[in-house]
Chain A
Amino acid sequence: MEKRLFTVTANTLAARDTYRMRLEAVEPGFVFSGEFVDIAIDGFYLRRPISVCDCGPGWIELYYKVVGEGTKVLSVAKPGSTLELLTGLGHGFDPSATGRAALLAAGGLGAAPLYLLARELKAQGKKVSVVLGFNKADEIVLLDEFRALCDEVEVATMDGSVGVKGFVTDAIAKMDPEYDYFYTCGPMVMMKAVCGVLKGGGEASLEERMGCGAGFCYGCSCKTLVGTRRICKDGPVFKKEDIIW
């Protein structure tokens, strides 16, 4: 974990209530998929955890949804302003668990951390199939980016305005992808359904309200089949077979 100042270089509306934020820092730093940052926001006591969607030497990109007061204030941060972040948080996805082909199943902004994972998997020469689920067309993010990077991409919308009408699991059924390992991130109910229908090994990224975000306050604990775990430190990514739904 490191505490560092970043400069906001972009903070733009990417979809309904959803912003893409690019942050730059002097030192390069390195981020693995599934890791998150914890952002200090003026006027709020606790930091806000947001997953890293993409990164390179000296920059990271995040996608966040305005759901409350903190993210509302974040959404008006101007390019050039600075934010203090804790970086290097969380235990992320394991791309090496995939043999030859991976399936990525995202619900809403769960797409964000899976994008960095897709990049890692492609860099390892693996086949990547992606299913993105959204409520409506105006919430879709990262679709072009996934299409440019991955082997197959399918979208599901609840209202059927784009892609398959229905749940992520409906789009997976339609796609019938070839994969030997899967990764999922999104709302709990969606991940539970995905882990329920998909065969073979996989990983899911969980969420909980956080205190420290760094493993020492025990505010985010959850019970798993392998014992009590901290979502912020031992997770957020857990093996499918260890999760108690």
Chain B
Amino acid sequence: MVKDLSVNLCGVRFANPVVPASGTFGFGVELADTFDLNLLGGISLKGTTAEARFGNPTPRIAECPGGMINSVGLQNPGIDVLVGEKVPALRKVYGGVVIANISGFSLDEYVKCCAAADACEGVDIVEVNVSCPNVHNGGMAFGTCAASAAEVTAAVKSVCRKPVFVKLSPNVTDIVEIARACEDAGADGLTLVNTFLGMRIDIKKRQPVIANKMGGFSGRAVFPIALRMVYQVAHACRIPVMGCGGVASARDVIEMMMAGAAAVQVGAENLRNPMACPEIVAELPAVMEELGIEKITDIVGIV
């Protein structure tokens, strides 16, 4: 039972459509001793900013029904360490697609970091996380308004030759409007979705579980919402979409692809099962066989 699992997004070939999502797989090397990373289609690296950041105070993690809240807050060593140390270290053990995930608190920061990621030999795709607050605009996230999402996209595109995927926030009224604005501004692809703003309270202590009060909710429970957004965006835009949110099995991957995803990212599931991605990849051929699918690309957007 040999199945064709390969996908091609903007000229970048992935051996299979399964990609650990940014922030849920470190810089890849952390898991190099756990399984052969080359089983993965791609890896989206931990979100990186211009300067090193500690991130938010702890506790940063909260258990939820069907998912979890994180408020890691973009802990990272800074873009110079990413391109100078992390990517080269990963490249020693891994030949698949590398996606650099970039965050910024200003337009300048996005531009600087994306240019550095673009210039880094080991990076194939630049993924721009627009869910960050804009410090020059009262802290409103870039990705919550079509105009500022488009502004970031255009600015980043002007310094990148590699494909740029804009990663959208689901915490918006109309994700299609924002997706279209990014496409019009020159995005080569879109990743969706990021986490949903959430909160838990420790009712014994009468205080929020997360030190920062709120955080990003994700995991299995968000799958139907993420799927709906992927479906809407993939049908409204021409550029490829990487579907993300609540994916936990090979069946979920197929469902996301039927909704229109050209590749699929797996996030919080990695935290509960570090073997989630290789297990999904291994499971895919049998599920395809059962469903009568020969080439995985045959099902993209068929619904």
Where the two chains meet, the residues of A that have a C-beta atom closer than 8 Å to any C-beta of B are 1, 3, 40, 44-47, 70, 86, 208-212, 214-223, 228, 233
Among residues of B, the one whose C-beta sits closest to the C-beta of A215 is: B30
The answer to whether A47 and B54 touch across the interface, beta carbons within 8 angstroms, is no
CB-defined contacts of B220 to chain A, threshold 8 Å:
45
Bound CA span A221–B74, Å: 12
Sampled A-B contacts (23; CB under 8 Å): A3-B273, A40-B273, A44-B63, A45-B64, A45-B67, A45-B268, A45-B272, A46-B271, A86-B274, A209-B59, A209-B60, A209-B61, A212-B270, A216-B26, A217-B270, A218-B72, A219-B271, A220-B61, A221-B60, A221-B72, A221-B75, A228-B75, A233-B30
CB-defined contacts of A214 to chain B, threshold 8 Å:
30-31, 34, 274
Which residue of A40, A215, A217, A223 is within 8 Å of B70 (Cβ)?
A217
A45-B68, A216-B31 as given contacts; A208 in contact with B271, CB under 8 Å: no
B153 at the binding interface (Cβ < 8 Å) = no
The answer to whether A218 and B219 touch across the interface, beta carbons within 8 angstroms, is no
CB-defined contacts of A86 to chain B, threshold 8 Å:
274
Which residue of B25, B34, B66, B275 is within 8 Å of A45 (Cβ)?
B66
B46 at the binding interface (Cβ < 8 Å) = yes
B62 at the binding interface (Cβ < 8 Å) = yes
B75 to chain A, nearest CB (A): 5
B122 at the binding interface (Cβ < 8 Å) = no
Contact with A along B3-40 (1 / 0, CB 8 A): 00000000000000000000111100011011000000
The answer to whether A217 and B72 touch across the interface, beta carbons within 8 angstroms, is yes
A209-B58, A210-B61 as given contacts; A218 in contact with B274, CB under 8 Å: no
B138 at the binding interface (Cβ < 8 Å) = no
A-B residue pair count with CB separations less than 8 angstroms: 92
Contact with A along B31-55 (1 / 0, CB 8 A): 1011000000000001000000011
Which residue of A45, A70, A216 is within 8 Å of B219 (Cβ)?
A45
**Chain B interface size range:** 35 or more
Which residue of B33, B58, B63, B209 is within 8 Å of A46 (Cβ)?
B63
| B65-106 residues at the A interface, CB under 8 angstroms | 65-68, 70, 72, 75
A116 to chain B, nearest CB (A): 23
The answer to whether B63 and A219 touch across the interface, beta carbons within 8 angstroms, is no
A45-B67, A45-B68, A211-B61 as given contacts; A217 in contact with B54, CB under 8 Å: no
Bound CA span A218–B30, Å: 11
The answer to whether B58 and A221 touch across the interface, beta carbons within 8 angstroms, is yes
Which residue of A215, A220, A223 is within 8 Å of B54 (Cβ)?
A223
Bound CA span A15–B31, Å: 38
A46-B61, A208-B58 as given contacts; A216 in contact with B25, CB under 8 Å: yes
CB-defined contacts of B61 to chain A, threshold 8 Å:
46, 209-211, 217, 219-220
B298 to chain A, nearest CB (A): 33
The answer to whether B68 and A46 touch across the interface, beta carbons within 8 angstroms, is yes
Main secondary structure of the interface of B (DSSP, over half): loop
A207 to chain B, nearest CB (A): 10
CB-defined contacts of B65 to chain A, threshold 8 Å:
45
CB-defined contacts of B62 to chain A, threshold 8 Å:
209
Bound CA span A212–B220, Å: 16
Bound CA span A105–B60, Å: 29
Bound CA span A228–B72, Å: 13
Which residue of A3, A211, A222 is within 8 Å of B271 (Cβ)?
A211
A69 to chain B, nearest CB (A): 9
Among residues of A, the one whose C-beta sits closest to the C-beta of B270 is: A212
| B195-214 residues at the A interface, CB under 8 angstroms | 209
B280 to chain A, nearest CB (A): 14
The answer to whether A45 and B63 touch across the interface, beta carbons within 8 angstroms, is yes
Among residues of B, the one whose C-beta sits closest to the C-beta of A222 is: B58
Bound CA span A46–B60, Å: 13
A22 to chain B, nearest CB (A): 24
- What are the nearest 5 A-B pairs in CB distance? A216-B26, A216-B30, A209-B59, A219-B61, A212-B271
A167 to chain B, nearest CB (A): 23
Q: Which residue, A3, A46, A208, has most C-beta atoms of chain B within 10 A? A: A46
The answer to whether A215 and B26 touch across the interface, beta carbons within 8 angstroms, is yes
CB-defined contacts of A40 to chain B, threshold 8 Å:
272-273
CB-defined contacts of A215 to chain B, threshold 8 Å:
26, 30
Among residues of B, the one whose C-beta sits closest to the C-beta of A210 is: B61
Bound CA span A233–B30, Å: 10
Q: Which residue, A70, A208, A219, A228, has most C-beta atoms of chain B within 10 A? A: A219
Among residues of B, the one whose C-beta sits closest to the C-beta of A43 is: B65
Among residues of B, the one whose C-beta sits closest to the C-beta of A223 is: B54
CB-defined contacts of A222 to chain B, threshold 8 Å:
58
CB-defined contacts of B272 to chain A, threshold 8 Å:
40, 45-47
Bound CA span A40–B273, Å: 9
The answer to whether B58 and A217 touch across the interface, beta carbons within 8 angstroms, is no
Among residues of B, the one whose C-beta sits closest to the C-beta of A231 is: B58
Which residue of B26, B31, B34 is within 8 Å of A218 (Cβ)?
B26
The answer to whether A211 and B46 touch across the interface, beta carbons within 8 angstroms, is no
